[in-house]
Amino acid sequence: MADIGGLGKLAYDIVVINDLSDAFFKVILLVVVFVFGMGLGVLSIRGFDNWAFRSVARFFAWVYLGIACLSYFGITVVLYRQAYSIEAFGTFVLVMITELLAILSLHVVIEDHDIRPFSYPIFAVAAIQAFLALHRYVLVSVPVSAYLAGDLFFFLGMTLVGSAMLGDIAFASLIKRVIDEIRGRDDA
């Protein structure tokens, strides 16, 4: 629970307040706390067959998705305003990766968890970002600048993440086939 509050506060500080001080170390600390909690969760599920933790983990996955979508929306607004430095952009990327990995790791721990519905909110924010980019560069005719690369990076990256979530079954079966192929070569 502490990592959810910490990640939300960190995202708020970086995206809204633009406080980039010690962001990398804060992310490291949050990851350590998250990994500790995940370890306890895995022990609870696999070691003690605790069904209650599965429900809690599903709830946390939705909370992390909410934080990730709010962060992505905030980043979209900052990208639209074009009021950020390369350091801030790198920190935005770090925060989004951390939030998305938290969602993915909970998906891996929870058995029979369908991550496909998680793609819809991400696509919704991506659509807002696409509209804002079209507004800025086409409708208002602002001259194209290097900031367009930031818009494209986040739009394409988050669309790819949403597509991977939507195609989870196909993606998971592809990974399983690759692993089976590697195991088959090792046996020969």
Structure-derived torsion over alpha carbons of residues 133, 157, 72, 166, reported in degrees to the nearest 10: 110
Which are the contacts of 169, defined by CB distance < 8 A and separation ≥ 6? 116
Q: For residues 180 and 147, give the distance between their C-alpha atoms in angstroms, rounded to a whole number.
A: 43
What pLDDT, on a 0 to 100 scale, did the predictor assign at position 137?
A: 84
Question: CA dihedral in degrees (80, 73, 96, 38; nearest 10)?
Answer: 170
Distance CA 98, CA 10 (A): 11
In this prediction, residue 127 carries a pLDDT of 94
CB 130 within 8 A of CB 155: yes
Q: DSSP character for 117?
A: G
Q: What is the pLDDT of residue 121?
A: 92
Dump pLDDT digits (tens) for 112-150.
777 888 889 999 999 999 999 888 888 887 787 888 888
Instruction: Categorise residue 142: left if φ over 0, alpha if ψ from -120 to 50, beta otherwise.
Output: beta
- Cβ-contact 115, 47 below 8 angstroms: no
Q: What is the pLDDT of residue 58?
A: 82
CA distance 104 to 169: 14
Tokens coding 55: 């429900």
Per-residue pLDDT of the chain (188 residues; tens, 9 = 90+): 556 666 677 677 777 767 777 777 777 877 787 777 777 777 776 677 767 777 777 888 888 899 889 889 988 988 888 888 888 888 888 888 888 888 887 777 777 777 888 889 999 999 999 999 888 888 887 787 888 888 899 899 898 888 888 876 666 666 667 767 776 765 55
The total of other beta-carbon atoms located within 10 Å of residue 36's CB is 12
User: Full-prediction pTM beyond 0.75?
Assistant: yes
Contacts of 44 (CB under 8 A, 6+ apart): 50, 53
CB neighbour list of residue 28: distance below 8 Å, 6 or more residues apart: none
